[in-house]
Structure 1
Amino acid sequence: MGDRGTDTRQKLVDTALRLFRDEGFQATTMRRIAQEAGVSLGNAYYYFAGKDELVHELYLVVQRDHRERTLPLLRDGGSLAENFGTVLHSGLDAMSPYHGFGSSFLQSALPVASRSSPFSAESTDARDMAITLMRDVLASSRQKIPPSLDNQLPMLLWLIYLGVTLHWVTDSSAGQTRTHALVDSIAPVVGKAVQLARLPVARSLISDIAELTTRFTTTERTTP
């Protein structure tokens, strides 16, 4: 893709994200995005098959911002509770401009089989970035985890982050202060749970939970 094509694609992304923020996800159409970006509708569809593909661009934009906000704030050798709280609060801050259309967007993003779902194959890049960030949180914290949980625990932390995000979407308090308060309560609990993971019984329980959540949050897409 040449410079002109790259510029057009980025203009469509920027326009779509602005319209999602200002007018809502459901109200924003591909035709409206094309008009605002100053390109033909056919050209818009050349770059993006529909709004779902633009949602994945949103995931990437938010995740890059989330990572940039979080990494300088992680305390090397700090407690997991502190660093996990940091990554959760930073995630909420990165998402804050998009809170207005969150509830309407959930209708299309919640089903696991939806292309807009954070669990979909189309969301792989953003999901991998998010799980890698959780791995960085664990690596920077003094609470070390058993090697057997190296792959499972970052996934579980990301799932907790998704749960916090779901609460944030429906949080009508000013600045979503209730969700930030929830983070302050959850982070210490997670820190204590990971400490217990050094014990064989707790380690096995966490492993079982990780396997169950992986099984029930992934699905093979079938075409009708």
Structure 2
Amino acid sequence: MAKSEETKSLIVATALRLFAENGYDRTTMRAIAAEAGVSVGNAYYYFASKDQLVQGFYDEIAKAHLTTVRQSIEGERDFGARLKAVLLAWLDVAEPYHRFGTQFFVNAADPDSPLSPFSDESSPARDASIGLMRDAIADSDVKLDPDLRDDLPDLLWLYQMGVVLFWVHDRSPGQKRSRMLVDRTVPLIARLVGLSRLRVLRPVSREIVSLIRDLGKRDDATLPRT
């Protein structure tokens, strides 16, 4: 890992620890820099604000998720198993940071916040997650409506965001309820995706895609897409 990447990771890890100890609002960039052993100027060189620093955390999670998933789905062809592996891998990677989830969600829930998963600033992490969904589909045995294939990764990412929201509020030990949610819903989704190829159900699946596209539109443009 290049020195700059090591420094960025150190700053992010230090910030997360201080957020846990002191709270997000009471943690300053100066305190983060001092604890990480870097100058304030160096901290601001990598992250112009605390919001950008949290974006850096999202990017770190996305990279760790990518590595974990690629190992877990290698050689697996079953679409449901691949999708479940993607979601469970995210829960595994994110588990150490569950205590930060509520604070981060408060910021991310603001549609004007750069921490929103739909913001331009969040595009690297969002694109990585959608890309994983695309990979899960591409190398699987799933048979689906051809017109659904291009939009399915985006739809599955929205499903993942629903799982993440549930996880944020999950207070069960080890977030077992979130894992149960994945275990119980993935087979249903895999079944629905498979049924989309049936001629009688194609109009329904295409109407769902059309609805999602329309909901994703803003007044001036559509949401960023991959």
Please report the TM-score for the alignment, with normalisation by the length of structure 1: 0.86
Cα deviation, residue 22, structure 1:
5.1
* Residue 52 to residue 138, structure 1, CA distance change in 2 (3 Å): same
The alpha-carbon deviation at position 164 of structure 1 amounts to 0.2
Q: Does 1:107 align with 2:109?
A: no
The one-letter code sitting in structure 2 at the alignment partner of 1:151 is: D
Matching of residue 50 in structure 1 with residue 49 in structure 2? yes
Unaligned runs of 5+ in 2: none
- Structure 1, unmatched stretches of 5+, are none
Distance 1:8 1:58 in 2: 13
Residue identity (%): 41
Q: Distance in 2 between matches of 1:123 and 1:77?
A: 30
1:175-200: CA deviations, max 9, x gaps?
Answer: 00011001111101110110122132
Note if 1:190 corresponds to 2:189.
yes
Alignment-derived partner of residue 19 in structure 1: 18
Report matched runs for 1:33-182 at 5 Å: 33-74=32-73, 76=75, 78-182=77-181
Counterparts of 1:27 and 1:93, CA distance in 2: 28
Aligned-partner Cα distance in 2 for 1:6–1:57 = 11
Q: CA deviation at 1:76?
A: 4.4
TM value normalised by structure 2:
0.85
Bigger relative contact order, structure 1 or 2 (CA pairs below 8 A, ≥6 apart) = 1
Correspondence for 1:204: 206
Paired with 2:96 and 2:118, the residues of 1 have a C-alpha distance of 23
Distance 1:191 1:213, change over 3 A: farther
Contact 2:144 2:195 in 1 (8 A): no
Deviation at 1:99, TM superposition (A): 0.3
Structure 2 residue aligned with 1:214, among 201, 213, 216?
216
> How many angstroms apart in 1 are the aligned matches of 2:44 and 2:163?
34
Give the AA of the match of 2:185: I
How large is the Cα RMSD of the aligned pairs?
A: 2.5
